[in-house]
A and B are shown apart, each in its own frame.
Chain A
């Protein structure tokens, strides 16, 4: 690809932005809209990330961004009820379900909720107007729109998404479950924006599920900003299950205050090209963070996990563990950084990336990095890429377990280390099942998500 093509691409987005600026601004208050123009200028400086940038060395997003998409700057009108075609089939999982259709909050059966204890679950759009004080305080405070051009692009175009607010000292009894659905008769691009504000001493859990419901090519460039106040606790689980014609860039920005505890667990079952950016800032003393990822890829899929764990204050503890099984000619990258700033004494930070490559053609680029400016810390990092353990394989087979089953058992065991950490029990059980199906090759090699296809009697 020539340099000229890249300039064109950058300009194409800018031109589209200015042409539709009024539409973008419509219905949103000044404190959202006044970020747009600066953001598009920031985007202009770097454009779509390319492989000459260190952070994007192994993932070329340009082909995906070059395609023509319908851009959802207005919600798509559908004349049926989404709830009729989509139901989450995790039994016993009792959640506040929120649907996003092509990045727009879907209101029909999931109106905004304000729970008796003050918890708010609503659309980003609604919140921006109705709760300006909260939104103003946190919106665009954690996303790095100067460093990450795609976060800037999202900020320029942000119109809707999910807003969650948990007041001080409150506990959200049920998890919020956000289901991102992509569905259209033509190729589409979505740039939704989520904002979660979990105040001091609160407890919450959030589940995000990504699904594609039609066979078109989709591109998602989302930003989620999360503020977790002092002594608050949040569990976050994300299940990515999109078809192979989809591209997803997910920018997750987390700011943790003192004594807070966050676990974030991303399970990637399917997806064409996935780039997950995790920017995690431990912005107070004695924070704890666990960020885990599991990805199972085959054929031409590509997944790239980028993690920036920023220890800014003393006594922080963090653990990153990313594990992957790559089959066929799938490729992947892991770029994990731990930054321990000068003041962050007594930090304990660990990071590991382990991969199983099932074929000679599967490829993984793993780059764990440590940058430490404090002198009294305990840190480790490491990566492995290899085959299944021969001794273990032989042991299983010597007991009569066939080759294929033995492989499955070992892959399953490999994945278990991550799944076992999912804090929401019914979800953990369901993911166990999904992983098993996925490893057996029984899960959605077709274009639809397993949640509603196949067995009609399932629901």
Chain B
């Protein structure tokens, strides 16, 4: 589904990603871990098409297409979803209008008619239950005045509504208490299918108690320095990142 080869990206002349290789197949959940500043969020942003980054080398092939050639909205229409680490507050744009516009744009791309209002509302109700999000939130402006936990839950809610093929969750667990964490993880697990894939970016192992990854990668210094199965996450939890940093230098 996704093939990243020797990806280099920089921001204002500073190279952040220094040759990332990664392959994600349908049905898989990948966890990308790593210390702060290792390039995890940058990788997520580059995949979603944030233009702050200049890709200087390498390629990203998604479903046989050159992902880097696509505008952010085209990537979304092709089924990529980014769960933001810091969801943006947009006063004056209602959640309802925002989601309806997004869904109908994606439907248009697939040659479908705009969704009927009644169907849309029904879908909202179903997906709200899935992520246990408060109805009041969906009546407000996008993320405006939401607590940290509500914002993260709202990301999962949007993911449920948009039904993406590849979800990239950027530290969706940070700042969540254990109950909220379970709800988020539960949402991800329920949305999982054999046709979709998920990349979970996280600093801590604890999310992986609830979302069981097929593969775990450690990103350090802009490269993936170690890959393994879920045991690797436990090892990191126990030993921290220092042993890997040493290994990476050697």
Contact = CB atoms under 8 A, between A and B. Distances in A.
B90 A400 contact: no
Interface in B98-123: 98, 101-102, 105-106, 109
Contacts of A413: 90-93, 141
Given A395-B87, A397-B72, A402 B105 contact: yes
Interface in B38-92: 48-51, 71-73, 75-77, 81-82, 84, 87-88, 90-92
B93 A397 contact: no
Contacts of A396: 90, 93, 98, 102
B162 interface: yes
Nearest to A399: B102
B172 interface: no
B76 A399 contact: yes
Contacts of A403: 71, 73
Interface stretch (A35-43, A181-189, A404-412): A404-412
Given A400-B102, A400-B106, A400-B162, A395 B90 contact: yes
Contact of A397 (B76, B91, B141, B142): B76
B93 A409 contact: yes
B202 interface: no
Contact of A410 (B51, B72, B81, B90): B90
A401 interface: yes
Nearest to B88: A395
Contact of A395 (B84, B91, B92, B109): B84
A399 B162 contact: yes
B198 interface: no
Contacts, number: 78
A18 interface: no
Interface string A63-106: 00000000000000000000000000000000000000000000
A410 B101 contact: no
B73 A402 contact: yes
Given A409-B98, A413-B93, A400 B48 contact: no
Contacts of B158: 399
Contacts of A415: 92
Nearest to B87: A395
Contacts of B71: 397, 402-403
Contact of B105 (A395, A400, A412, A417): A400
Contact of A399 (B91, B92, B98): B98
A3 B77 CA distance: 62
Instruction: Enumerate the 4 nearest inter-chain pairs by beta-carbon distance, A residue then B residue, closest first.
Output: A413-B92, A400-B76, A399-B102, A397-B72
Given A399-B158, A402-B71, A402-B105, 10 more contacts: A389-B88, A392-B88, A394-B48, A394-B51, A398-B76, A399-B73, A400-B76, A400-B102, A405-B105, A413-B91
